[in-house]
């Protein structure tokens, strides 16, 4: 009855909002925030704000939730409110700074980070973002000064050296940049960014073989980075390895199918090796992305002429000439196509126009515009800024000189800076962990969609529960839980009300208690959820789903309690890495006891073995973890997640060969991340 009243209070209009237990609602809201259920967390923060509008914390955390939902303006307003109520909270400036960055207000972000550093001068995140803001504003000297301060605060922080190297490159100081990238590689040779960055310098130096070697290492360590394949293709192109370059463009486009450079450059190379039809496909794709790209239009016209599509070629050439009326190569090729079509009058007009432009050039009467789009009468381009026989093989994407239509395209400086926009630090939920176990399994109604489906997770008893139609939705077994939408959250608050009424009318039903416990779990009220699962067990001590879910919720409570100190440090004070919490091994033993009970009651429920294996692995009891993963795989030989976690556990024990074999099986069953881990640890084995 007390819980029903609490739920009703949460849903009451604001005239009664002062009656809610704001401390408890705040804890539930932070639970939801930590587990990335942002929409739900905002609803809880709203309740606290309505009840106690003078508190700064709900505004601060609501701003953090909004920034994760890309509501940057709303996040900034919430941080304004938090700072008005307490101007000494570092996290409010930090979050507002990030919100301002996302709105391209770098000056405002710099003000915020400077203000925050007054209170926390050793905060690495603040120095990192401040430096990136200076880079975005092209204030390179100030960026270098701040990065040097960051290096004093955190001498082993590799990102500082990478950023300073990038700044030095922009200042054309290649040698100093190379020293910074060498230092990054020396600090951690298994970080792909150092190899990628050094490769860029070596490309600029013309050391294409060395650059290719660095990119080989970067790709080995990070197989899903399309940019590394694009850059390696460039090094191979310069070494006249056209087939190798095309292979790299193929791989880049598998990862990023909409990559402009990949399609455009592969189209050029396919044309060079006579693969005209597939080259046309690439230029078609480019023109879908950029219909006004004249270079691609002209190249497609040349290919259409070669494959016999003369009318299509004339259409393309005409479009280019409308934009560049002094482009001699355009008239030359259009005249040739018109002759083949029997349009001799049109061909003669093109030849006359071409002759007139050439005469004007000789007499120095051509306009400045004409100088930018001329070419020799045979259609070959000539770069007026290069020596004969030493012509540059590449052009920047922004280069509009039609003479350069056959050149390989490289990214503009401004385009390469786009990566900074995704390199800002500050979201509490970000975890700098490259290798981690696949998560715990849960019983829930909602599952995240995945491009690669590992398989349907099934158990006979859960299927029977679904067929009983007792539950409002189909119960799923998944480790890819989806956060609630606003509509779903409201629906479950409503279900809590109706399920509370059911429990009151039939207080002997373990299933009804379990259902309400599941609703509490979905709205992140873990304490109430555990109470209901416990009551379900007391009503029917053989109902194993209640033990299974109680174990999961207790585990999440412990994980949140461990992270809460880090959350407070990162958002409200500093990030000094000191974590103080009351979580002990004995707390996790209580979770394992529930999983032991599930295995006793349902020895074929593989997900209990899997979750217990995760617990053991997390506690560094790797032998016990292996035993549980072995049993899970014995019961289900296609259990992809168990193979993946068993593979990682073998690697933690130093059994790389066995670990790689399991990871290979996990990859075969659909866990794509396996291949990245395999490459990393294969490299270690080779060394």
Half-sphere exposure of 177 (CA within 13 A, CB side): 21
The H-or-E segment that residue 45 falls in is helix 38-51
- % of the chain exceeding 70 in pLDDT: 84
Residue 668 pLDDT level (bands cut at 50, 70, 90): confident
pLDDT, position 592: 93
Report d(CA 262, CA 130) in Å as an integer: 33
CATH classification code of 443-686: 1.25.40.10
Strands (E), 544-600: none
Q: Rounded to whole angstroms, what are the CA distances from 425 to 116, 193, 432?
A: 14, 16, 10
Q: Which residues pair with 447 in a beta bridge?
A: 481
Radius of gyration of the chain (CA): 31
d(CA 155, CA 135): 20
| Predicted local distance difference test score (pLDDT) of residue 367 | 47
Reduced to 3 states (helix: H, G, I; strand: E, B; else coil), residue 408 is: strand
Please give the average per-residue pLDDT across 135-147, as a whole number: 93
Phi, psi angles (nearest 5°) of residue 70: 65, 20
Query: Is the Cα dihedral 503, 507, 508, 510 positive or negative?
Result: positive
**Six token digits for residue 79:** 């941080």
| pLDDT score at 583 | 55
Could you read off the pLDDT of 374-419 as tens digits, one per residue? 444 444 444 434 433 334 788 888 888 888 888 988 876 544 444 4
Number of other CB atoms surrounding residue 44 within 10 Å: 29
pLDDT of residue 682 exceeding 60, the answer is yes
Predicted TM-score of the model (pTM): 0.67
The answer to which of 166-170, 326-330, 482-486 has the lowest mean pLDDT is 482-486
- What would the mean pLDDT of 21-45 be, rounded to a whole number? 87
Q: State the average pLDDT over residues 117-136.
A: 92
What six digits make up the tokens of 84?
């008005």
How many helices and strands (H and E) does the chain possess?
34, 4
Pairing of strands 476-478, 442-444: antiparallel
Separation CA 248–CA 219 (nearest Å): 11
Q: What's the pLDDT band for 134 if we cut at 50, 70, 90?
A: very high
Mean pLDDT across 219-235: 90
Q: Where are the alpha helices (DSSP H) in 12-157?
A: 22-34, 38-51, 57-68, 72-85, 90-102, 106-119, 124-136, 140-153
The structure tokens listed for 387 are 């020596």
Residue 619 has pLDDT above 90, yes or no: no
Average pLDDT for residues 225-251, to the nearest whole number?
A: 93
DSSP summary character for residue 522? H
Q: Which residue has the tokens 């005409």?
A: 318
Of 395, 362, 392, the C-alpha closest to 377 is: 362
pLDDT band at residue 667 under the 50/70/90 scheme: confident
Q: Check pLDDT > 70 for residue 270.
A: yes
| Both tokens assigned to 209 | 């073989």
pLDDT confidence of 152, banded at 50, 70, 90? very high
- In the prediction, which pLDDT does 532 show? 94
For residue 308, the model assigns a pLDDT of 93
| DSSP secondary structure letter of residue 437 | P
What is the pLDDT of the chain when averaged over all its residues?
84
Give residue limits of the domains in the chain. 443-686
pLDDT in tens, 315-373: 999 999 999 999 999 999 999 999 999 999 999 998 999 888 888 877 765 444 444 44
DSSP assignment letter at 171: T
Task: Give the Cβ contact number of residue 455 at 10 Å.
Answer: 12
Name the strand (E) or helix (H) holding 477.
strand 476-478
Judged against a pLDDT cut of 80, whether residue 484 lies above it is answered with: yes
Q: What are the tens digits of pLDDT across the range 70-91?
A: 888 889 999 999 999 999 999 9
Helix/strand/coil for 432: coil
CA-angle at 634, arms to 631 and 637, nearest 5°: 130
227 with 680: CB under 8 angstroms?
no
- Alpha carbon distance 181, 193 (integer Å): 9
The DSSP element (H or E) to which 444 belongs, if any, is strand 442-444
pLDDT bin (cut points 50, 70, 90) of residue 585 is low
Identify the pLDDT of residue 10.
36
Distance of alpha carbon 443 from alpha carbon 379, whole angstroms = 68
Which residues make Cβ contacts (< 8 Å) with residue 266, sequence separation at least 6? Answer: 246, 249, 250, 253, 279, 282
289 pLDDT exceeds 60? yes
Cβ-Cβ contacts under 8 Å for 652 (sequence gap 6 or more): 617, 620, 622
């Amino acid at each position: 009855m007390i819980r029903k009243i609490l739920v009703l209070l949460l849903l009451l209009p604001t005239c009664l909002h002062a009656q809610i237990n704001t401390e408890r609602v705040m804890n539930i809201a932070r639970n939801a925030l930590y587990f990335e259920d942002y929409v739900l967390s905002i609803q809880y923060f709203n309740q606290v704000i309505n009840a106690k509008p003078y508190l700064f914390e709900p505004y601060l955390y609501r701003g953090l939730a909004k920034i994760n939902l890309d509501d940057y303006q709303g996040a900034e307003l919430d941080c304004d409110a938090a700072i008005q109520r307490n101007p000494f909270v570092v996290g409010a400036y930090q979050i507002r700074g990030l919100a301002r960055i996302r709105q391209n207000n770098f000056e405002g972000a710099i003000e915020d980070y400077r203000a925050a550093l007054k209170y926390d001068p050793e905060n690495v995140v603040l120095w990192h973002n401040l430096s990136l803001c200076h880079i975005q504003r092209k204030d390179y000297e100030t960026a270098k000064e701040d990065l040097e301060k960051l290096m004093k605060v955190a001498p082993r922080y590799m990102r500082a050296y990478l950023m300073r190297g990038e700044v030095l490159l922009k200042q054309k100081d290649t040698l100093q940049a190379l020293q910074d990238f060498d230092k990054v590689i020396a600090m951690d040779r298994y970080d792909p960014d150092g190899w990628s960055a050094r490769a860029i310098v070596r490309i600029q130096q013309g050391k294409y073989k060395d650059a290719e070697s660095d990119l080989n290492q970067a790709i080995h360590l990070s197989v899903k980075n399309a940019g590394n394949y694009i850059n390696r293709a460039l090094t191979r192109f310069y070494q006249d390895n056209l087939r190798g370059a095309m292979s790299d463009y193929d791989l880049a486009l598998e990862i990023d199918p909409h990559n402009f450079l990949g399609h455009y450059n592969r189209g050029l190379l396919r044309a060079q090796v006579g693969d005209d039809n597939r080259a046309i496909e690439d230029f078609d794709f480019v023109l879908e992305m950029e219909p006004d790209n004249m270079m691609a239009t002209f190249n497609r016209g040349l290919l259409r002429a070669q494959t016999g599509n003369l009318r299509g070629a004339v259409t393309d050439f005409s479009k280019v000439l409308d934009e560049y009326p002094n482009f001699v190569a355009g008239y030359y090729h259009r005249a040739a196509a018109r002759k083949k079509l029997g349009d001799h009058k049109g061909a003669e007009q093109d030849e006359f126009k071409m002759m007139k432009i050439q005469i004007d050039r000789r007499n120095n009467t051509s306009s400045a515009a004409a100088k930018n789009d001329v070419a020799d009468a045979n259609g070959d381009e000539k770069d007026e800024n290069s020596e004969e026989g030493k012509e540059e093989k590449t052009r920047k994407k922004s280069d509009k000189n039609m003479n350069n239509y056959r050149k390989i395209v490289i990214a503009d400086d401004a385009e390469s800076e786009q990566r900074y926009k995704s390199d800002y630090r500050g979201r509490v939920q970000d975890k700098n962990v490259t290798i981690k176990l696949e998560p715990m399994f849960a019983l829930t109604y909602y599952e995240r969609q995945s491009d690669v489906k590992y398989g349907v997770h099934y158990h006979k008893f859960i299927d029977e529960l679904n067929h009983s139609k007792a539950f409002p939705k189909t119960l799923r077994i998944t480790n890819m839980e989806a956060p609630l939408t606003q509509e779903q959250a409201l629906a479950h608050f409503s279900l809590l009300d109706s399920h509370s009424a059911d429990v009151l009318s039939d207080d002997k039903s373990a299933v009804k208690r379990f259902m309400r416990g599941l609703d509490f779990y979905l709205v992140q009220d873990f304490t109430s959820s555990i109470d209901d699962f416990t009551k379900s067990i007391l009503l029917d001590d053989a109902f194993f789903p209640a033990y299974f879910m109680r174990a999961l919720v207790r585990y999440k409570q412990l994980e949140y309690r461990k992270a809460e100190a880090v959350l407070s440090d990162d958002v409200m004070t500093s990030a000094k890495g000191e974590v103080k919490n009351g979580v002990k091994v004995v707390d996790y033993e209580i979770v394992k006891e529930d999983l032991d009970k599930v295995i006793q009651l349902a020895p074929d429920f593989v997900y209990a073995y899997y979750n217990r294996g995760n617990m053991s692995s997390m506690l560094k009891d790797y032998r016990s973890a292996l035993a549980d993963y072995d049993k899970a795989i014995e019961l289900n030989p296609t259990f992809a997640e168990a193979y993946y976690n068993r593979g990682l556990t073998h690697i933690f024990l130093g059994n790389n060969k066995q670990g790689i074999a399991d990871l290979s099986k996990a990859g075969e069953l659909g866990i794509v991340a396996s291949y990245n881990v395999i490459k990393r640890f294969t490299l270690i084995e080779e060394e």
